[in-house]
Amino acid sequence: MTQPTSLQDRFYPIRTTLPSCIQLASVGEHNFELKVQFINTLPKFHGLEYGDAYFFIREFEKICLMIKISHLVDDAIRLRFVPSAPKDLTKKWLYSLVASSSHHGIVLSRSS
């Protein structure tokens, strides 16, 4: 026989976070902040139905090249901003990727 669900469990379900498919290199003891104004300037990608993926990538890289964070190489900056660009189903797809997946995951291999 199953236990009845309490009101607290119904209104406050247990939330779990899954590890990201984007594996970032450690920055060691260096601190930095991803500023909201940088995130707001990124192009948004809603999927192939709504836009050109190559145009999005070109714009995304152009914006990321203008952002400089000490102790981070350009690829490290891009990877930190990737989760902010997809919207709608593309964000759902990104979150569905398995962490540490060699064929789906996005890995930063250069040291930062």
> Is residue 2's pLDDT more than 60?
yes
Q: How many whole angstroms separate alpha carbon 112 and alpha carbon 110? A: 6
Could you tell me the pTM of the whole model? Answer: 0.67
Kindly list the distances between the CA atom of residue 106 and the CA atoms of 21, 81, 94, in Å, as whole numbers in the listed order.
6, 12, 10
CB 72 within 8 Å of CB 112 = yes
Instruction: Please report the pLDDT score of residue 100 as a whole number.
Output: 64
Cα distances (angstroms) measured from residue 59 to each of 29, 42, 65, 111: 31, 8, 10, 25
User: Which tokens is 48 given?
Assistant: 């192939």
pLDDT confidence of residue 112: 37
Instruction: Please compute, for residue 2, the number of CA atoms within 13 A of its CA located in the half-sphere on the CB side.
Output: 3
Rounded to 5 degrees, φ, ψ at 83 are: -65, -15
Residue 104: the pLDDT is 44
**pLDDT per residue over 17-53, tens digit each?**
777 888 887 888 888 888 899 899 999 999 888 788 9
Which residues on neighbouring strands pair with residue 45, listed in sequence order?
86
**Domain residues of the chain, as ranges?**
37-112
Quick one: pLDDT at residue 35?
87
Residue 55 has a pLDDT of: 93
Q: For residues 108 and 14, which has the higher predicted lDDT (pLDDT)?
A: 14
